[in-house]
């Protein structure tokens, strides 16, 4: 291995993050279906800041203080809050200029796990090109952190990790570690029809059964936006 | 998801095992390069029992008591012990009928992590067909537990998980969970030349740099043996 090269690696679960933690790497948090897709959409539609929180209780405290709050567990928007984690919930004039609190089953847990990293940014198919171009300019090693499903591996975040690995490494300027190699191979097989590729994935089944096929299709669309949300203290803000 | 179906899933790191633990599933511990390949080879050459231990200190205690001991860390056989974790070390008349203690960087840690499972068996390409035929007969859900490298994902164990998934599910009698789906896709891409597929994998690079190409080729060979080592208390024994 050429030790001088920057690396790309993939961590398949927030639970595994401590094993992958290292100094000076940029962590991309991925929760394609649907938290990071919703977060990018919210910024696209004019949200000023978001506060990701790990628990519903914390979200409730913010709600009581008058914040707008998105809250989801097990793919369902929680009653009494303003949004769930569908991107479509945030395509809404009332988000403009606001600070929105968000808690989700997986994505906000991954942000919490990685919060002490050199930098934490939010990735999904919707902002993939803008994100990868920015990452390449930073000249840092990249860790793609898949949120998974309740700390288990999932297919859709893995697919995004592969797409990002391929895009980041088009000039072969990174060393791909094993997780990145595996996801890149998978994406090469899947890229012509990611929706079909995910056919048997557990979360696609879960969402399809809930009538959320449009959400899935939207979340698999490339380059709807240029926004790159980054974690600054407790806030996600635009770069 | 058809809840009545048995499942196949893959856990990519011993560190993640608690997330995948469930009642009544059979755990296949995988460390293709090289612990589980060495263990299967040892049984093929007549070892009676093996005692996997997590630490070198524990192995040393057994050595002092007169046991034959294999000990490896960071791909190197440790001085003062009888074997490392190359399969070739165990193709040896002196193993016949013996109880051998073994400790390795990854594989024995994975056995330790899973020891309370319903059943723990040892898998590698060398015993894949015999193992899969036995697993199918058990009518239990299967968890393929990759040992990885120091708790990180690795490519070669993943490849074996894909091969086993494909072999187990040839009659579509299992439900494949996301980890199994991903590894199956990878194996479909890799199966014609696994050695080439692993070309850039970190551990293949590590072993190749140490002159261990023959070990790698051997460990990627299918069906050298019919042995299926199973954990009974602290011992690995033949089924």
Read off the pLDDT of residues A40-73 as tens digits, 9 standing for 90 and up. Answer: 999 999 999 999 999 999 999 999 999 999 999 9
The dihedral region occupied by B75, where left means phi > 0, alpha psi between -120 and 50, and beta the remainder, is left
- Residue in A152, A178, A205 nearest the CB of B20: A152
pLDDT tens per residue, range B45-67: 999 999 999 999 999 999 999 99
pLDDT computed for residue B209 by the predictor:
87
Look at B153 and B4; give whichever has higher pLDDT: B153
**Mean pLDDT over each residue of chain A, to the nearest integer:** 95
- Residue in B152, B178, B200 nearest the CB of A176: B200
| Structure tokens belonging to residue A73 | 């567990």
What is the DSSP-derived secondary structure letter of residue A92?
S
pLDDT computed for residue A76 by the predictor:
93
Distance, in angstroms, between B214 CA and closest chain A CA? 20
* Interface check B158 vs A, CB under 8 A: yes
pLDDT tens per residue, range A189-216: 899 999 988 988 888 888 888 889 999 9
Q: Quick check: A153 and B15 CB within 8 A?
A: no
Q: Please, which residues 4-33 of chain B have a Cβ atom closer than 8 Å to chain A?
A: 9-10, 12-13, 15-16, 19-20
| Structure tokens belonging to residue B96 | 């016949």
Of all residues in chain B, the one with the smallest CA distance to A175 is B200
Query: With the C-alpha atoms ordered A68, A71, A75, A80, is the resulting torsion angle positive or negative?
Result: negative
Distance, in angstroms, between B98 CA and closest chain A CA? 37
Q: Which residues of B touch A2 (CB under 8 A)?
A: none
Q: Is the pLDDT of residue B3 over 60?
A: no
Measured CA to CA in angstroms, residue B42 lies from B95, B126, B131 at distances of 7, 12, 16
Q: Quick check: A202 and B177 CB within 8 A?
A: yes
Q: Is the pLDDT of residue A2 over 60?
A: no
Q: Quick check: A202 and B150 CB within 8 A?
A: no
CATH, domain B6-238, list 3.40.190.10, 3.90.79.10, 1.10.580.10, 3.90.1560.10: 3.90.1560.10
Q: Which residues of A touch B149 (CB under 8 A)?
A: 178
Distance, in angstroms, between A19 CA and closest chain B CA? 7
CA atoms within 13 A on the CB side of A237: 6
pLDDT tens per residue, range A135-174: 999 999 999 999 999 999 999 999 999 999 999 999 999 9
Distance, in angstroms, between A154 CA and closest chain B CA? 5
Q: Is the pLDDT of residue A117 over 80?
A: yes
- Residue in B13, B179, B190 nearest the CB of A16: B13
> Which three-class secondary structure state does DSSP give residue B184?
helix
Q: Quick check: A1 and B177 CB within 8 A?
A: no
pLDDT computed for residue B115 by the predictor:
97
Q: Which residues of A touch B189 (CB under 8 A)?
A: 185, 188-189
* Interface check A61 vs B, CB under 8 A: no
Q: Is the bond into B138 cis (omega within 30 degrees of 0)? A: no
Q: What is the rounded CA–CA span in Å between residue A139 and residue A134?
A: 9
What is the DSSP-derived secondary structure letter of residue A132?
H
pLDDT computed for residue A209 by the predictor:
87
Q: Which residues of B touch A205 (CB under 8 A)?
A: 1
Under 8 Å between Cβ of B128 and B167? yes
Confidence category of residue A179, pLDDT binned at 50, 70, 90: very high
Q: Average the pLDDT over B122-131 and give the result.
A: 98
Q: Is the pLDDT of residue A3 over 60?
A: no
Q: Quick check: B185 and A181 CB within 8 A?
A: no
> Which residue from B95, B114, B105 is spatially nearest to B43, judged by alpha carbons?
B95
| Residue partners of A100: CB distance under 8 A and separation at least 6 | A42, A47, A49, A50, A51, A67, A68, A69, A70, A82, A83, A90
* Interface check B2 vs A, CB under 8 A: no
Confidence category of residue B233, pLDDT binned at 50, 70, 90: very high
* Domain spans, chain B: 6-238
pLDDT computed for residue B80 by the predictor:
95
**Lowest model confidence (mean pLDDT) among A92-96, A120-124, A224-228:** A92-96
- ipTM over cut 0.90: yes
Q: Is the pLDDT of residue B28 over 90?
A: yes
Q: Average the pLDDT over B202-212 and give the result.
A: 88
Inter-residue long-range contacts of B63-71, CB under 8 Å, 24+ positions, other chains counted: B63/B101, B67/B99, B67/B100, B67/B101, B68/B94, B68/B95, B68/B98, B68/B99, B68/B100, B68/B101, B69/B100, B69/B101, B69/B102, B69/B103, B70/B38, B70/B100, B70/B101, B70/B102, B70/B103, B70/B104, B71/B102, B71/B103, B71/B104
* Interface check B223 vs A, CB under 8 A: no
What is the DSSP-derived secondary structure letter of residue B112?
H
Q: What percent of chain A has pLDDT over 70?
A: 98
Confidence category of residue A1, pLDDT binned at 50, 70, 90: very low
* Interface check A130 vs B, CB under 8 A: no
pTM of the model: 0.96
**Mean pLDDT over each residue of chain B, to the nearest integer:** 95
Confidence category of residue B1, pLDDT binned at 50, 70, 90: very low
pLDDT tens per residue, range B76-114: 999 999 999 999 999 999 999 999 999 999 999 999 999
Strands (E), B136-207: 142-146, 174-176
């Amino acid at each position: 291995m050429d030790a001088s090269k920057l690396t790309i690696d993939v961590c398949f679960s927030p639970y595994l993050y401590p094993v992958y933690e290292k100094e000076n790497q940029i962590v991309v948090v991925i929760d394609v279906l649907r938290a990071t897709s919703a977060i990018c959409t919210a910024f696209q539609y004019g949200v000023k800041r978001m506060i990701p929180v790990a628990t519903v209780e914390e979200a409730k405290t913010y709600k009581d203080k008058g914040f707008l709050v998105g809250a989801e567990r097990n793919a369902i928007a929680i009653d009494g809050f303003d949004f769930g984690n569908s991107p479509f919930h945030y395509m809404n004039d009332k988000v403009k200029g606001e600070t929105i609190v968000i808690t989700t089953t997986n994505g906000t847990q991954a942000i919490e796990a990685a919060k002490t990293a050199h930098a934490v940014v939010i990735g999904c198919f919707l902002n993939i090109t803008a994100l990868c171009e920015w990452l390449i300019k930073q000249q840092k090693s990249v860790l793609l952190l898949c949120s998974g499903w309740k700390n288990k591996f999932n297919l859709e975040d893995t697919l995004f990790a592969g797409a990002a690995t391929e895009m980041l490494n088009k000039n072969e300027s990174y060393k791909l570690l094993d997780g990145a190699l595996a996801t890149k191979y998978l994406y090469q097989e899947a890229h012509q029809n990611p929706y079909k590729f995910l056919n048997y994935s557990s979360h696609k089944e879960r969402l399809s059964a809930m009538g959320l096929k449009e959400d899935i299709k939207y979340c698999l669309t490339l380059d709807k936006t240029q926004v790159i949300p980054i974690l600054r203290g407790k806030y996600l803000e635009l770069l």
